[in-house]
Chain A
Amino acid sequence: MLKPIIDHRYFLWGLLAIPSIPMIAALIAGTPGENGQPVTEALLHPTGEFSARFLIITMIITPLRMIFPNAAFWRWMMKRRRYFGMAAFFYALFHTLLYILDMGSLQAILGEFLALGIWTGWLAMLIFIPLAVTSTDRAVRKMGARWKTLQRTVYVAAFATLLHWIFVHNNFGPALVHFVPLAGLEAYRIFHNTRRRIGKKQEA
């Protein structure tokens, strides 16, 4: 009885939007952070973190499906991968808008643009835009093979996100906790694909 509800895309959209509800409420109310920081600054970290989490979830679906080919859960996730990707995009957009609001002027933004922890964030956002725009069925059909090439730039965005997270605060811990599992799964995927390719060559 629950299945049609769980399988409905609005259910998943609602689920992915839940973390943003307290954030939007705090922004509207102008609630300062726990140390008295302005709300725009207090929300920077959670919006960025959720964006990175959804990005990582989007990217681990394929390798986990490879490891568990018969698991219904990962098949279910694979069908909904784009929604996780869109969630990563929307939280990143929210994060960027908060940053612009928090900085308050173009001069201030440009003044720190070249810091490693900042331009890497802009680069990731810049890559996310075309990926989000081409996430429709129509774009997939129209672009054919080029769609996959374009979507693969997500690896560049993920690496830029990792650098952004580490260097904006000079702190490796939290960023690595999130990204090392992804790196491990990607390493497995490359290992698996290479082995399969070698196997095919030997058969031929």
Chain B
Amino acid sequence: MHFLKFPSLTAIAFVLPFCASATGLYQCETTLKSEWISKEALTEKLEGQGWVVRFVKEDGGCWEVYGNTPEGKRVEGYFHPVTGEPKIIAQRGRVIFKANEQN
């Protein structure tokens, strides 16, 4: 077959995608599920600060919040599931906040 003349090309086409599959923006430290604050508590806390929370899901051991910041930016933010502190906030993939990691 003609296509077999270019095995390297074929290999690149099929193998490369599997090498480059990183998911999620952030990985939180491992925490006990029993110590997590609830989605509702986090939502309430953020709404108290002026956020509009559209939905919250679990990702990378964090609470991942989708919504608008008090400044009206549509963002996805990763929050520490126990303390509820923001770890990283990105507006359409552009990181606009990153927590200082001292430890």
Contacts and interface: CB of A to CB of B under 8 A. Distances in A.
Question: Which of A38, A167, A170 has the most chain B CB within a 10 Å cutoff?
Answer: A170
Contacts of B12: 180, 184
A108 interface: yes
Given A180-B13, A184-B9, A184-B13, A115 B92 contact: yes
B63 to A, nearest CB: 12
Interface of B: 2-3, 6, 9-10, 12-14, 16-17, 20-25, 54-57, 66, 68, 72-74, 90-94
Contact of B2 (A37, A67, A116, A174): A67
5 closest Cβ pairs, A-B complex: A173-B21, A184-B13, A177-B17, A117-B93, A115-B92
Interface string A169-204: 111111011001101110110000000000000000
B13 A112 contact: no
Interface residues of A, number: 34
A118 interface: yes
A149 interface: no
A37 B65 CA distance: 11
B22 A67 contact: no
A59 to B, nearest CB: 14
A187 B72 CA distance: 43
A170 B90 contact: yes
A111 B75 CA distance: 12
A36 interface: yes
A36 B2 CA distance: 49
Nearest to A64: B3
B94 A116 contact: yes
Contacts of A168: 92-93
